Amino acid sequence: MFEDFTAATASPEGVSIHYRKGGAGPALLLLHGYPQTHAMWHKIAPRLAQRFTVVCPDTRGYGASGKPAADAEGTVYSKRTMAKDMAGLMRGLGFEKFAVCGHDRGARVAYRLALDHPDAVAKLCVLDILPTYSTWRRMEKGLALGMYHWQFLAQGGGLPEKMIGADPDYYLLEKLKRWSKDFSAFTPEALEAYKIAFRDPASIAATCADYRAGATADDANDGEDFGRRKIVAPTLVLWGEGGLARRVDDPLAIWRQWAIEVSGHAVPCGHFLPEEAPDATAKALEEFL
């Protein structure tokens, strides 16, 4: 995977961030989600690198990046903190302004990046999510059953860490199977990368801390912004026909509460657009960017 990309590590906010970089042209930052790593972009990053300088990092707590100890307030793994990591990473690479596309948790980092660093984000793309604040406010029976992991992973006292740690491979693969429409879309190379990363107890702890932040600091930060300021970067919203965001009638209507200029559409796949529908996802990104 990533044959023509270079791998490196930077520490923009005092936490090591592992990333791959390839291509030439305008800068494009690609952010992965849970329970994956930057490897989730391996099908489309080479194609996008023909037109863009593509940067694919592991966000803090994931993959080969640093995994600092969490705090009770959720700030260490808040999307605001992760967005600062990414802004610093891109600035250190010489990119003062760039496009960003995020999937799942990475999309939450991406839209927080656009809110907190508007001068840095030229365009924003979010894949198969609704904003955190909006999701919590819509957590009725159907959504809660489909997104049970929000509540489970946010539990304190080491409960999810202990349960997941008993068989991390099972939990990882079960999440991918449940959220995908076509599990065969995941390549053996990518699955092995996810397993290696997810078996690390520090990674399990950090990813749970990510979701605890979603229930605390992230929700609070979104609440402060909702109705007071909007994302100014043009925003593309894509979601899988069998994904998580399609659980609401009109994802675009929700996003128009958060961003000034919004467009987007469904893609015929499950939750994992870049792996299940790489051609459709890459084409949509190329046209938008």
- Judge residue 141's burial from the number of C-beta atoms within 10 Å of its C-beta, 0-12 exposed, 13-18 middle, 19 or more buried: exposed
Catalytic: 265?
no
Q: In angstroms, rounded to a whole number, what is the distance separating the alpha carbons of residues 62 and 81?
A: 14
Q: What is the DSSP letter of 184?
A: G
Q: In angstroms, rounded to a whole number, what is the distance separating the alpha carbons of residues 44 and 125?
A: 15
Catalytic: 271?
yes
Place of tokens 């489309």: 44
- Of 47, 32, 33, 34, nearest to 2 by C-alpha is 47
- Judge residue 91's burial from the number of C-beta atoms within 10 Å of its C-beta, 0-12 exposed, 13-18 middle, 19 or more buried: middle
Torsion, Cα 33 108 12 285, to 10 degrees, reads 70
The DSSP string of 15-64 is S-EEEEEEE-SSEEEEE--TT--GGGGTTTHHHHTTTSEEEEEPPTTSTT
Number of alpha carbons in the 13 Å side-chain half-sphere of residue 227: 4
- Of 105, 86, 87, 108, nearest to 17 by C-alpha is 86
Instruction: Catalytic residue, from 18, 32, 117, 271: name it.
Output: 271
Q: In angstroms, rounded to a whole number, what is the distance separating the alpha carbons of residues 62 and 214?
A: 16
Instruction: Catalytic residue, from 104, 128, 219, 222: name it.
Output: 104
Instruction: Please report which helix (H) or strand (E) contains residue 120, including its range.
Output: none
Q: Which residues are catalytic?
A: 104, 271
